[in-house]
Chains A and B, each alone.
Chain A
Amino acid sequence: MKDPIQKAMKDAYKEGTFSQTKKIETLQKVQRKQRTVWSFSLTVLTTCCVMLLLFFLVKDSPQITQTVSSKSRASIEHIYMERWQQFSAVVASDFEKQARIQYLSTSDWSLQQATLGEKDGRILAELLQHMTFIVGDASTQVIFPEITTFEQLTEQAPTLIKKLEKAYGARNVSKLGESQLPNMEIFYMDFWQIIGTLALYSAIMYFLYSNWRKKRNYYFAAFQVVVLLFMLYSFVKPPLMVVATDEEELLEQSLNSYKDFMGEWTDVSEAEIVKIEKYGNQLVVLIDAGDGICILSNFFYIKERRGYLRQSTIWGRDDVLKIPSSVAVYEGDSAGNIFALPANHNIERIEIENVVTKETVSLNISKNKEGVYYLAIPVNMQGDDGQFTIHYYDRQGNLLEDN
């Protein structure tokens, strides 16, 4: 052996052997690893299947939704009253076990989904939940009023709910339409958005990991950890778009906008909603802020966020507050305008006139109460230049103001 390096190394390392025990252990390990890969793949596959299944379960069943929405209002009212009578029977039986079981064997889900008009629907759905809760746990006695008609039920529902909340506590009852999901971005993404984001992030992670494996640079590893944390944060961060899901939030958002402009010192403790009107997917809220000030806000429904997003808020002590809206709500309208009139206003008629063609469209206001009104400009009145003037007339027919 001429090579001194080779000779030195072979002499020095001759005792180094790969033992028989290690060879047997290696064979056992590779066979075990083979099984691990299989079980891992199976786990991943099963998890994906379960996730898909959950996704389809969580989504509304179109069949059931259709059944509910196809029912007429009269039919829904009838079903609600039937349910109330069943409940009354349970109360009359002094919460007898068999009667309770029979009541609880019927699901309230479809009734809770029925939309009877935004406010009524929510209140009745909440009442239904209370009723189920009481029948399930009849440990406290509450006196229930005699209700024979649907109108009575609707009218008495808020009082009844308050009474029941006092007796049982409201912690177990969630209101239909309330935001029940954690305030994290991931819960507001749709399915494909989640899949797309995950795929993108996985690709970035793979790219970073493979780069790190090549370079083994710890600064790079730290960078990778930062990217990972950022990606996780993007999933769990509170959504940027804040939507309102109930009256309280509608009020809060409108008042926040008002206070942002007027200053934090502005007292709005007495403010209350006096009118909510819905035009298409637009919700208009009129608030009495006290001291003769009215606040008018309009919100648009955002399907993906399951709530209403505030578009604009105006306020004043004027006889009329107006939100010009370029969005036509109904077919045949080219543009719509929303007017809010405070209590004791002096306006009886609002008229929109095309400056060029002199064509007009008007709205008669019969009551001297606060209210929200929608007055659209029809497509055939739009004209080429589309310049309009708005006239307001009092009860005597006098022109009050041009706008």
Chain B
Amino acid sequence: MEQHDELLQQAMDAYGDYLVQLIYTYVHNWQTAEDLTQETFIRYYRSLSKFRHEASVKTYLYRIAINVTHDYLMSWKYKKVIVSELFQKWLKTAHTPELEVLYKDEQQELIYAIENLPTKYKDVIVLFHFAEFSLEESSEILKIPVNTVKTRLRRARQMLGQMLEEGELYERPHSKGNEGRL
């Protein structure tokens, strides 16, 4: 058990921050991202006795993190948050001068576009670009064929390009958590 505790500590030190950031791209709330990262590490710890090191710890952890995040996005809890936030946003004005200034920053626009991608396209973008996994590793984590990863990646980039060109972001303000990045 002590050995497992040690491995968990190492994993948290090495990948904790990356996982929080990865999960944030999906949930847009730092507190939730940290909680889900914790859940990822708990699942990792519980499966340590079964883990045969066929994949690297990083790949293994990212696979768990993606699954934990997908589970959360499908949960009633998340849907309830979304509904209540949409309702709050509906009561407020979506376009504020501050937001428009911020959106003018190209880099921010790109982030905003990534966060608004459908989940299956966001998966490949964050794994390939942010976590620096290869196509093969991404395919292994997502359990989909390499060609599908390629196709989704191409399609995701096209969507990002379109969204940036058309300025669609101003029409589709995404749902953010209480302590949003902006």
Contact = CB atoms under 8 A, between A and B. Distances in A.
A6 interface: yes
B42 interface: yes
A216 B42 contact: no
A12 interface: yes
A13 B25 contact: yes
Interface string B54-70: 00000000000000000
Nearest to A23: B12
**Which residue among B114, B125, B130 has the maximum number of chain A CB atoms within 10 Å of its CB?**
B130
B111 A8 contact: yes
A16 B20 CA distance: 6
Interface in B16-61: 16-17, 19-21, 24-25, 30, 33-34, 37-38, 41-42, 45-46
A26 B41 contact: yes
B134 interface: no
Contacts of B16: 17-18, 22-23
Contacts of B132: 6
Contacts of A9: 21, 25, 111, 114, 126, 129-130
Interface residues of A, number: 28
B24 A13 contact: yes
Contacts of B41: 26, 30
**Which residue among A7, A22, A26, A33 has the maximum number of chain B CB atoms within 10 Å of its CB?**
A26
Contacts of B21: 9, 13-14, 16
A15 to B, nearest CB: 8
A26 to B, nearest CB: 5
A32 to B, nearest CB: 10
A22 to B, nearest CB: 6
Interface stretch (B1-9, B80-88, B144-152): B1-9
B107 interface: yes
A30 to B, nearest CB: 4
Contact of A25 (B9, B38, B107): B38
Contact of B17 (A8, A17, A31): A17
A-side binding surface: helix, strand, loop or mixed? helix
A26 B19 contact: no
A30 B42 contact: yes
B-side binding surface: helix, strand, loop or mixed? helix
A11 interface: yes
B19 A18 contact: yes
B130 A27 contact: no
Nearest to B70: A216
A31 B45 CA distance: 10
B64 to A, nearest CB: 13
B38 A26 contact: yes
A397 interface: no
A14 B74 CA distance: 27
A88 B15 CA distance: 87
Given A9-B114, A22-B16, A23-B9, 15 more contacts: A5-B129, A6-B132, A8-B110, A9-B21, A13-B21, A16-B24, A18-B19, A23-B12, A23-B16, A25-B38, A26-B8, A26-B42, A27-B9, A29-B38, A30-B41
Interface of A: 3-19, 22-23, 25-27, 29-31, 33-34, 216
- What are the nearest 6 A-B pairs in CB distance? A18-B16, A13-B21, A5-B129, A16-B21, A216-B74, A30-B45
21 contacts: A4-B110, A5-B110, A5-B125, A6-B132, A7-B107, A8-B110, A9-B21, A12-B111, A12-B181, A13-B21, A16-B20, A16-B30, A23-B12, A27-B5, A27-B8, A30-B5, A30-B8, A30-B46, A33-B42, A34-B1, A216-B74
